[in-house]
Amino acid sequence: MEIFHGTGVSPGIGIGRSVSIESLPSEIYRISLAESELGPEIERFRASLVDAEREIQGTAAEVRRKLGDDLAAIFEAHSLLLKDQDFIERIVQQIKSEKINAEWAIHRVVTDLAERFQAMETPHLRDKVEDLRDVGRYVLRCLQGSTTHDLSELGSDVVVIAHDLTPSEAVRLGRSRVVGFVLESGGATSHTAIIARSLNTPLVVGLEGIGKRITDDDPVVVDGKEGKVILHPTDEVLERYRALAGQMKARDSEMQATRELEAVTLDGTSIDLAANIELPEELADAQRFGARGVGLYRSEFLYIEKSPELPTEEEHLEIYRRMLAEMAPHPVVIRTYDLGGRKLARELLATHEDNPVLGLRGIRLTMARPTIFRVQLRALLRAGVDGELRIMLPMVSGVEEVRKFRHGLLRLMKELDAEGVRYAGDPELGIMIEVPSAALTADVLAREVDFFSIGTNDLIQYALAVDRNNEHVAHLHQPHHPAILRMIRFVVDSAAEAGIDVSLCGEMASDVRSTALLVGLGLRRLSMAPRQVPAVKSRVRQIDRADAEEAAKRCLTMGTAQEVDDHLRTVFGAALVSA
């Protein structure tokens, strides 16, 4: 038995067998090539066709053996398409005429052909769309040198070991038979961690080099609370963890029983606890654990799940309406796409960025892509007639973005008027406060919008210059750093002055060690992963507002996060400030 210690960022116990995922097909992006690079790029593309053909034939043979000729014929069809000269020539021409990399050329050709096939009357041709996409994926995988990780090949109770996973990979894997994730990189507020918690799948990060220490099919236990990974557990250890997993399940049911309790402090101050939602299946959790509305819907996950295709207006509308119906009469805050950065949408950016976290991300990308803006905002305006829908913009850095956005919104309203489509004429519009420039001009911004939501995950990243995905500086991502507390205070005061709502929806909202401090800083609405609502609620019920305010006031004068923690511990006792 061997024990590895990392950082547990999604609690729970996973018991299974290891599978190491080295390279899922990565995101596709566009690279411009020089004239002299085009020949070798075409060669690289042709070589990938040979590899893809070998892969398809291998799969076809296996399917024939196990499932018979009928099903193997699917792969024969793939093989034919792969040899189709017209298909190959189109891609070669794209590389030459656009001077682009083979991956991007394949993506363009496949998307274009798929759209045309889809529009055809003949069902036979429409059926070709999936074949075409499959073939595109085979070639991309071969180009990128990655091995096939068909999820259907995974056995049951799998513990995924990887250097890193993108949020979309985590969604895809987490929904299959994966019982735990173990990553070499990552931090507690990374989007992959957020997704693991959404899926209720244990995740331990920061285990550098673990990929080399664990081979496939090893028995493993993942303890996502303690941050432990146990390789080859003894029977006794296994038994202990099985019992622990059982207790956790029982606690889950107890937590649901707190649903009806009010989130009020000892002195009767009400604190609204809402849900952060990434995936539709979390709506049920939001209800089970008693969240009052949705404080943050990270709508980019709608795209991430469908990528590289963009969801249609109707698809947006459907999920927004569902959320409003399920959470009624409580409000639902839908954040427009926060794509770019590490959430990735390279195919939308169509360009390489050295520093994506400071690049075309969030509202910047939405405003730079009229189609993205139009499709999502039309759906939001239309859904607004069905309930208390609030629109929120991510990554706002100043007033100009808000004004431009409003301008665009008015244009869309005129368009909907002309079409005679019903929509919400005066939707509440709010912004995330997650860029330091927005926090420091909150008094000005408060006059332009209807509400604020403080995104501490990014606010800390940008204010303290600490990459939220980097395990080497994870200890510096400090929510209790006095600089952050001062920003929160200023934002809360600015909102109060202007008479607008303010909430906090970063991961700090779900950490019971911060609850008293946040109440003391004046927050009355927190939004968090649905499963965290009961724990935060029970913490709220132990707090006296005057004590919290006094403590917050003192903390604002301090120099370090450590001093803040020590003070909180002295005032509230270890029980109130430990997780």
Residues of the shown chain interacting with Mg ion in the complex, contacts defined by CB under 5 A: 434, 455, 458
Whichever of 63 and 395 has its CB closer to Mg ion, that residue is 395
CB hemisphere CA count around 199 (13 angstroms): 25
Size of the site for ligand PEP (CB under 6 A): 10
Which range in 76-84, 121-129, 400-408, 452-460 contacts ligand PEP by CB under 6 A? 452-460
Whichever of 278 and 547 has its CB closer to ligand PEP, that residue is 278
| Secondary structure element (H or E) that encloses residue 9, with its range | strand 7-10
> Minimum distance between the CB of residue 298 and ligand PEP, rounded to whole angstroms?
5
> Minimum distance between the CB of residue 472 and ligand PEP, rounded to whole angstroms?
20
Q: Which of 191, 316, 481, 567 is catalytic?
A: 191
**The two structure tokens encoding residue 514:** 């911060």
SS3 (DSSP) at 332:
strand
Interface pick for ligand PEP out of 457, 503, 510, 514 (rule CB under 6 A)? 457
From residue 355, alpha-carbon distances to 157, 203, 341, 360 in Å are 37, 26, 8, 9
CB hemisphere CA count around 170 (13 angstroms): 29
Using alpha carbons only, give the angle 312, 316, 319 rounded to the nearest 5 degrees.
140
Q: Give the Cα separation of 227 and 59 in Å (integer).
A: 38
> Minimum distance between the CB of residue 357 and Mg ion, rounded to whole angstroms?
10
Whichever of 48 and 192 has its CB closer to ligand PEP, that residue is 192
Report whether the peptide linkage leading into residue 219 is cis, meaning its omega lies within 30 degrees of zero: no
Per-residue string for binding with ligand PEP, 251-290, x by CB under 6 A? ----------------------------------------
Whichever of 134 and 458 has its CB closer to ligand PEP, that residue is 458
Looking up tokens 């070991």 gives 161
Interface pick for ligand PEP out of 41, 184, 458, 501 (rule CB under 6 A)? 458
Q: Does 506 bind ligand PEP (CB under 6 A)?
A: yes
Report whether the peptide linkage leading into residue 329 is cis, meaning its omega lies within 30 degrees of zero: yes
> Minimum distance between the CB of residue 185 and Mg ion, rounded to whole angstroms?
19
Q: Give the Cα separation of 422 and 4 in Å (integer).
A: 57
Instruction: Please check whether residue 106 is in contact with residue 140, taking contact to mean a CB–CB distance below 8 angstroms.
Output: yes
Q: Does 227 bind ligand PEP (CB under 6 A)?
A: no
In the range 548-567, which residues lie near ligand PEP by CB under 6 A?
A: none
Q: Tell me, what DSSP letter sits at residue 502? A: E
Whichever of 106 and 291 has its CB closer to ligand PEP, that residue is 291
Residue 142 bears catalytic tag: no
B/e letters for 57-74, b = 16+ CB within 10 Å, e = fewer, are: eebbeebbeeeeeeebeb
Q: Does 523 bind ligand PEP (CB under 6 A)?
A: no
Longest CA pairwise span in the chain (Å): 76
Whichever of 396 and 512 has its CB closer to ligand PEP, that residue is 396
Q: Break the chain down into helix, strand, coil percent, rounded to 5.
A: 55, 15, 30
Choose among ligand PEP, Mg ion, none what residue 285 binds, the Cβ cut-off being 5 to 8 Å by kind. Answer: none
Interface pick for ligand PEP out of 233, 331, 340, 455 (rule CB under 6 A)? 455
Instruction: Please check whether residue 167 is in contact with residue 449, taking contact to mean a CB–CB distance below 8 angstroms.
Output: no
SS3 (DSSP) at 561:
helix
Which range in 49-57, 350-358, 450-458, 568-576 contacts ligand PEP by CB under 6 A? 450-458
Looking up tokens 């839908």 gives 334
Whichever of 103 and 434 has its CB closer to Mg ion, that residue is 434
Using alpha carbons only, give the angle 514, 518, 524 rounded to the nearest 5 degrees.
135
Interface pick for ligand PEP out of 456, 503, 514, 532 (rule CB under 6 A)? 456
> Minimum distance between the CB of residue 167 and ligand PEP, rounded to whole angstroms?
10
Interface pick for ligand PEP out of 428, 434, 501, 511 (rule CB under 6 A)? 434
Q: Which of 330, 505, 555, 567 is catalytic?
A: 505
Close Cβ partners of 305 (under 8 Å, ≥ 6 residues apart)? 168, 171, 279
> Minimum distance between the CB of residue 389 and ligand PEP, rounded to whole angstroms?
19
> Minimum distance between the CB of residue 472 and Mg ion, rounded to whole angstroms?
21
> Minimum distance between the CB of residue 578 and ligand PEP, rounded to whole angstroms?
23
Residue 555 bears catalytic tag: no
**The two structure tokens encoding residue 40:** 């070798």
Q: Does 338 bind ligand PEP (CB under 6 A)?
A: yes
Q: Does 505 bind ligand PEP (CB under 6 A)?
A: yes
Backbone dihedral angles phi then psi of residue 294, each to the nearest 5 degrees: -105, 120
SS3 (DSSP) at 167:
helix
Q: Does 511 bind ligand PEP (CB under 6 A)?
A: no
Instruction: Please check whether residue 140 is in contact with residue 91, taking contact to mean a CB–CB distance below 8 angstroms.
Output: no
Q: Give the Cα separation of 296 and 366 in Å (integer).
A: 18
Choose among ligand PEP, Mg ion, none what residue 511 binds, the Cβ cut-off being 5 to 8 Å by kind. Answer: none
Judged by the rule CB under 6 A, the positions of this chain that interact with ligand PEP are 296, 298, 338, 434, 455-458, 505-506
* Residues tagged active-site: 191, 505
